Amino acid sequence: MSDVQPQPIDANAVGVEGHYSLRLYVAGQTPKSVTALRNLQRICEEYLAGAYTIEVIDLRVTPQLAAGDQILALPTLVRHLPTPLVKIIGDLSNTDKVLVGLDIRRDQPPRVEPSA
């Protein structure tokens, strides 16, 4: 096995208050994982536009990463930042639950990227 390590996620490195650092664990291109990724991207674009990073980890490729975040169920979304660590399992089809899980307020106005 190669010594693949996930990139360290560090609030200081990102340097932005309220930045969401997310990791999605999947195992291959299963319908569930595809659905999960699509749902995640949609929710993030809608509520966290520009203030998030998504790292998709395919455990079929790097199984050694599963133990680090105590992954059992798949797909699992792990919110590393902001702390505390939160895990959301499933295909993220219930947007409300995902928002609650990630601690994003629905009434929070969708961020608008300042135009250049």
For another protein, the binding residues (CB under 8 A) are 1, 25, 27, 30, 32, 35-36, 39, 59-60, 63-64, 66-67, 70-76, 84-94, 97-98, 100-101
* Minimum CB–partner distance for residue 85 and another protein (Å): 6
Strand, coil or helix: 32: helix
Angle at CA of residue 26, ends 21 and 32, nearest 5°: 115
Considering the complex, what minimum distance in angstroms separates the CB of residue 115 from another protein? 34
Cβ distance to another protein smaller for residue 51 or 99: 99
- Of 21 and 39, which CB lies nearer to another protein in the complex structure? 39
Report CA 84 to chain centroid distance, whole Å. Answer: 14
User: For another protein, which is the closer residue by CB, 96 or 113?
Assistant: 96
> What distance in Å separates the CA atoms of residue 83 and residue 108, rounded to the nearest whole number?
19
User: 14, 42, 36: which is closest to 23 by C-alpha?
Assistant: 36
